[in-house]
Structure 1
């Protein structure tokens, strides 16, 4: 698009209502907004948006599309018809940070004109007209309101990430558009206008999305990315964590002022490198900046994630250690240098074996481009790639869509809740494997979520409204019958947080002596319950000392406590009664079997375990309390492949429970039609 400068007087704007900051702050906000590349193209851009019901916008990193286009659309009442603008983000931290930024720019209180909704948290009101939310939250709204009658415009940002929820949302939105073209009425009898859709990305397979939306126009907007110099290693690195540490120290010693963003694969690597850098930072000479190390990964509590946006103190250099959560949408001011490991964690589901693996894999070329672009948002930057230059052409061009490599039972359950009975005909942008869809239907039938005709029943409807994956949601429903809802919710909260135990390594592998005081012979699940109960019994002040004494991660426990509160509220909302088993722990294990029965295995003659439903061979992970005394029959929650396949979060169960609590799988072997 050629640039045309937007009108400086903002004569059509309604965004300033509600308490505009005066003086220099307002002037600075206006100056920054007008300097963004997207502002130069505003007039032409809005013309294209008005022409078509669906518009696909490709805007370079740093162009301002995420923060500015929602405001431009809000200013034009002919586009919204007085309804809300929903702006989706793949990640919670992006939804929160961008909504705060836009609220600040509009000069309004956060949660009024501009708000957000993420899992378990809704900062919006009746006044909200620009609402940022995760893809999953908008999908949940569509289950309750299939016409999305509150919205006049839906903007799907960062569509190129092709998360499971994004692809599911695209198909859902396409269906809503079709319905609303027929002048349908909402619950109040008002005729709804057609739904406008804007799909936005920095690196998108534009033709694929255009074809999906029946030839929707593609608009390219030139962005402002400052030049970024690329540096590669001469030889492949054997230890990328060590290479990342020395690269950061070299940047700190030799490069001009500016913060550093390091891309790693996950929490464990981030915390390890963080510890290494903090130890080194204490020994730095006085003539180099002090290192201010900040962590960023999805499992961090929101308040800790927000630390990355704090201003870097004078005389220090901020080092942000992040997963691919920082690849898109987030603008961390001050970043001039990027260190790219070239790796990310990717979850892959194998429907035939039922195995869900989390593997470290090379990134795609589009990811490498996005990562490098983080260094050029505000000024010229440098990107240090911890791999050789000849690796780049061998990387896949784009990330494989999550829809094609994940367990689809949650998606299928939501589709059933939306009264989509013919799952195979749902308009996915890339059709998932038919086998994966059929396996998901089989699982939901085995979980008692579907009746014999494949229709959603009362149990399935409750599961669809509960903010957990189907197997975990089924555990909660079973727990009510077993009389142990309180204990089961606590365990599920613990399974939803990070690893709670610290493990010190010695010649024998992982070891945590303090954990033995908390162990329960039945296995990891009841051990986690005991940890949760003892932590919960402590005062806020005492809880830190208790964690230190027992080598337990205080941050993970705090997060588990919050998740437990949220799950408890959800259970009460659905009318699920809160009951305690009073130390009848068989009831707790039975409720877990009712949901996770697919994750059960028996010991073979060779000492290894074989999964009942798939025949998959596995071994108990050394971190499990069951490692030293393996039982005959186990239930597990996660499989991890390193040198072999390991089961984590393992408990001993009675084999007879399987045929009793999962009779469709372990007795009749019945299948849905």
Structure 2
């Protein structure tokens, strides 16, 4: 056979057979292989055709293997969702979108992926299952793997921001909603999935609302994709209506009665601190049948203060913290019951995402930390606010799962009745620059026409565009610039991303990375209430009299040096001795590593540690993201910022005793 025969056109029947085989391929391969076949029809090449046939056969074989690997399924009789599995499976087969409603503890989170397998899903592609929090993604994947009797990472995998356990045989992938958003950047049609489960949709986070809008548009183009949305009963009909009246399946929870008790201090008494009221509520519960206590607090700081307050006075109890940033090993402790009564101090992560065994009592501070943007001051701030009535009811529902429960609310009934019914969706209270940037990079419709469940405020949209223009991410016609395209590929706030882009040509990327990532996590410097002076003395070594930003660089360099020199256990002891949080430093380091890789992916060079950036170079880079965060001292020695905002230097700042003419603040 001569070499020229390599390009002899194939018989039409060969192409027709390959076209038929394509229908049995994995979804993720179908379009890619279809394009190759189309090109070969125009320009036949026998060698390339054989390669294509091999690729098609491999994809078909993988699909057949997935079909054979589907595990045996059984459902715990104790979970209410098990009684509804046939109805849910039929709805999935007959509808493209299904909404499943039920309270936390009904079993919907762990059983829905199994019901999807029973309905024939997970063969053409993955069953993707999103969780709003990392801690929930880990817990759900571990539980699901256990129920399917498979090691985590085989049939069931998970992925969060910093960790993943995935494998080629995965049928189910549990992930945070942020991971799915990132995948859209590389796979707009989400071809790796044949089914998506969006869990806890009632939380109405920015990620969830964007995903629901995006998927509504995608479903008309991907008729094979199934979408299951889970929600508490809150707002369920509204979400269903957003998807053209998708069927709603209600799953009732098995609950015992929960007694609600309110607390309000008498007018003639000196008010007790939050931690004193928690202690008093624990005392009150000691007269009740034994059971674990779940305490809802607004944030990590309050959890640490409560832990310090309780651990010496309640030595007979096990005091456990719970929040999203907690390391995986410590998170798992809440699922292991020992001999002692437990008091679990939690943020609202335990409100809907997790079911903790053994909880019989809830103490509700009535507070939560909410991010809120002001279009007047143009500032996004994390404020402590009273929770809505719906959130308070969710918290009360955490007890009464295994026996009659009691919820003590550390506020009055009158206070409860005056609270708003629901928490505002995040899209109505946040700066929209990041959303607009991602939508522009994906070439989606204008944000004003995007199908959000709740349309964002026009003032917030204007402010988002204004900030992106200030950062040079869009032009006057609101088109994405080269800078904007790079910013969209960095998994960080556009302000911080702009600093990194400016830092690279100035030779200040290494220091700017340390600063930017420090600003996205909690400060590792701890200042216990009873040891403030000792902590300040230890931290003084990091202070730079010219700039708090340089103080962060000094802290980063010190911890990196100690990391290289010490074992993990010795570094932990050093951090404790010097009032530094080892856990927060690890999170800082993980965030730094992730962003460093992203920066390298878009071609940014970090430079050498042996040639540190000069003061001017570093602060010029930071200024690119903080143009509206500068202030000047007026004749009254007060600082005046953009839009006539008055500013003061924080007393804990290294510049607290100085009065420079100009300030720049993050």
Normalising by structure 1, we get a TM-score of 0.83
- Cα distance, 1:547 vs. partner? 2.9
- The one of 484, 493, 497 aligned to 1:469: 493
- Give the one of 590, 603, 620 matched to 2:649: 620
The secondary structure found in structure 1 opposite 2:381 is: strand
The counterpart of 2:114, out of the listed 41, 65, 71, is 71
**Is 428-437 or 594-603 further displaced after alignment?**
594-603
Q: Distance in 2 between matches of 1:163 and 1:273?
A: 28
Whether 1:382 aligns to 2:406 is yes
Q: What CA distance in whole angstroms lies between the structure 2 residues aligned with 1:421 and 1:42? A: 37
Aligned ranges 1:6-45 → 2 under 5 Å: 17=69, 33-45=76-88
Mean Cα deviation higher: 374-383 or 160-169: 374-383
Q: For structure 2, which runs of at least 5 residues remain unmatched after alignment? A: 1-65
Of residues 105, 114, 129, the one that matches 2:156 is 114
Change (3 A) 1:509 1:412: farther
Among 575, 581, 584, the alignment partner of 1:553 is 581
Equivalent position SS for 2:402: coil
**Contact 1:159 1:204 (8 Å CA) reproduced:** no
1:635 CA drift (Å): 1.8
CA distance in structure 1 between the aligned counterparts of 2:376 and 2:512, rounded to whole angstroms? 29
Partner of 2:278 in structure 1?
A: 244
Q: Tell me if 1:313 matches 2:346.
A: no
Residue 367 (structure 1) aligns with: 391
Higher Cα radius of gyration: 2
Work out the CA distance in 1 between the residues paired with 2:448 and 2:406. Answer: 47
Which one of 298, 320, 328 corresponds to residue 352 of structure 2?
328
Shift in Å, 1:234: 4.8
1:232 is the counterpart of 2:262 = yes
Q: Answer whether contact 1:510 1:622 (CA < 8 A) is retained.
A: no
**How do 1:500-539 residues align onto structure 2 when only pairs under 5 Å count?**
500-503=524-527, 512-538=536-562, 539=566
Q: Distance in 1 between matches of 2:485 and 2:531?
A: 51
Give per-residue Cα distances to partners, 1:558-601, cap 9 Å, x unaligned. Answer: 32222222222222233221214525232222221112222222
Q: 1:577 aligns with which of 605, 614, 632?
A: 605
- Counterpart contact for 1:85–1:130, Cα < 8 Å: yes
Equivalents in 1 of 2:358, 2:432: separation in Å? 40
Matches within 5 A, 1:396-415: 396-415=420-439
CA–CA distance in structure 2, aligned partners of residues 364 and 504 of structure 1: 31
Structure 1 segments of 4+ aligned residues over 6 angstroms from their partners: 506-511
Q: 1:504 to 1:82 in 2, by over 3 A?
A: closer
Structure 2 CA distance, aligned partners of 1:127 and 1:574? 31
8 Å CA contact 2:475–2:481 kept in 1: the answer is yes
Q: Match of 1:46?
A: 89
CA separation in 2, counterparts of 1:520 and 1:464?
33
1:313-353 CA distances to partner (integer Å, 9 max, x unpaired)?
22x11211111111012111121111111111111101232
Contact 1:466 1:473 in 2 (8 A): yes
Q: SS at the partner of 2:101?
A: strand
What is the alpha-carbon distance in structure 2 between the residues aligned to residue 508 and residue 52 of structure 1?
60
Q: How many residues align?
A: 591
User: What SS is found at the alignment partner of 1:375?
Assistant: coil
Query: Are residues 301 and 39 of structure 1, via their aligned partners in 2, closer, same or farther at CA, if it must alter by over 3 Å?
Result: same
- Other structure's SS at 1:475 match: helix
CA apart distance, 1:80: 4.8
Q: 1:75 Cα deviation (Å)?
A: 2.1
Decide which structure has greater helix share. Answer: 2
Query: How big is the shift at 1:278?
Result: 0.9
Instruction: Determine whether 1:256 maps to 2:253.
Output: no
Structure 2 CA distance for partners of 1:545 and 1:64, relative to 1, 3 Å: closer
What's the CA shift string for 1:237-278, capped at 9, x where partnerless?
A: 653222012212443x33323211100011111100100001
Deviation at 1:235, TM superposition (A): 3.8
Q: 1:36 to 1:244 in 2, by over 3 A?
A: same
Deviations 1:514-549 (A, max 9, x none): 222221012211101101111111123443454345
Instruction: Tell me if the contact between 1:56 and 1:210 (Cα under 8 Å) persists in the aligned partners.
Output: yes
The answer to whether the 8 Å contact 2:630/2:665 transfers is yes
8 Å contact kept, 1:336–1:381:
yes
Q: What are structure 1's unaligned runs of at least 5 residues?
A: 1-13, 21-28, 182-192, 283-289, 638-673
Q: Contact between 1:258 and 1:337, CA under 8 Å: does it hold in 2?
A: yes
Within 2, Cα distance between the matches of 1:376 and 1:579? 57
Q: Superposition RMSD on alpha carbons, in Å?
A: 2.4
Whole-angstrom CA distance in 1 between matches of 2:571 and 2:356: 33
* Compared CA separation, residues 510 and 410, structure 1 to 2 (3 A): farther
Please list the CA deviations of residues 382-424 of structure 1 after superposition, one character each: whole Å capped at 9, or x if unmatched. Answer: 2111112233322211111010001111111111111125221
Cα–Cα, structure 1 residues 82 and 593, in superposed 2: closer, same or farther, change >3 Å? same
Query: 3-state DSSP class of the match of 1:160?
Result: helix
Q: 1:462/1:332 Cα in 2 relative to 1: closer, same or farther (>3 Å)?
A: same
Indicate the residue corresponding to 2:242 in structure 1: 212
Assess if the C-alpha contact under 8 Å between 1:228 and 1:381 holds in 2.
Answer: yes
Kindly indicate whether residue 112 of structure 2 is the aligned counterpart of residue 82 of structure 1.
no
Following the alignment from structure 1 to structure 2, what is the Cα–Cα distance between the partners of residues 507 and 501? Answer: 13
